Amino acid sequence: TAADLIDRINTAWKSWRESLPTDLSELTAKPADGWTLKDLMAHITWHEQEMINVVRAKALAASEWWILPQDERNENIRALHADDAVEDVVSRLDATHTDLLEALATLEDRDLHDPARFDGMPAEWAPWSLIANNTYEHYQAHT
């Protein structure tokens, strides 16, 4: 159900958000793989914004970056926000998540199981799965 999806998102979000350091300088420390926590936060925000667009439009209204290979898409997201202040990235992360929850609250249970309720969504897709992949499953993958 929509309530179950929102609950899963909230539970995973809380766990992921609590795993992040509160010291902003730690968010910009460069690890061996080259991605800072700030980069990762911008990455999560981008994916959530994409889901907001889908839910609000009730359409597969997605960025052209989705057609790119995953590594290239991810690098584009990282580069797009590389010069953003860490405070702005944190603020945008939290604001976008709030917007996501508001958008999801407009869905009916049947919206989550019927791709025909979203313009342009392939018939073999499950809308709930698309949302899960870009929210709670995504947070868990990066925790």
Each residue's pLDDT tens digit, 7-53: 999 999 999 999 999 888 889 887 766 789 999 999 999 999 999 99
How many angstroms separate the CA atoms of 26 and 17, rounded?
14
How many angstroms separate the CA atoms of 14 and 10, rounded?
6
In terms of phi and psi (left: phi > 0; alpha: psi -120 to 50; beta: otherwise), the region of 34 is: left
Cα torsion at 58, 63, 65, 68 (round to 10°)?
30
Q: What is the pLDDT of residues 104-137, one digit of tens each?
A: 999 999 999 999 999 999 999 999 999 999 999 9
pTM of the complete model: 0.94
Q: What's the maximum distance between 2 C-alpha atoms anywhere in the chain?
A: 45
Radius of gyration of the chain (CA): 15
